[in-house]
Amino acid sequence: MAETVVAARTIRPQSVLSSEDLAIVDGDIAGAISTIGEAVGLEARVVLYSGRPVRMGDIGPPATVERNQIVRLVYATGGLTISAEARALGRAGPGDTVRAMNLTSKSTVSGIVAKDGTIHVITP
């Protein structure tokens, strides 16, 4: 029989999960994770209620960029690289897409967050 990971207690969004926050129950629930190791160190994106299954969409990497944080914006194409300061318009972790406003031009662009918090502009 398969196992499913559930929240051991109610966990608020933006909390980083530890093994004490999670428990294993018997049963296979579609979309739920099956090992505690998959979730440890990740951040709750929504409220995780005690006894309910933890799904991959409910958790993600901890945010490295906070809303209104000043970040480095990088646009690279071919041999050209442009860097500027921007204000993040949302909260995001590595690999997430977030919008940011260039502080000089006031234009808004979308980009992917790197591990160091830099936002790499998505080219259309």
Q: pLDDT tens for residues 7-35?
A: 999 999 999 999 999 999 998 888 899 99
pTM: 0.73
Residue 1: the pLDDT is 66
Beta-bridge partner residues of 99:
110
Task: Tell me the pLDDT tens digit for each residue of 43-92.
Answer: 999 999 999 999 999 998 899 999 999 999 999 998 999 999 999 999 99
Whether 92 and 63 have beta carbons less than 8 Å apart is answered as yes
> Domains of the chain, with CATH numbers?
3-60 (3.90.1210.10), 70-121 (2.30.30.760)
The C-alpha atoms of residue 96 and residue 18 are separated, in whole angstroms, by 22
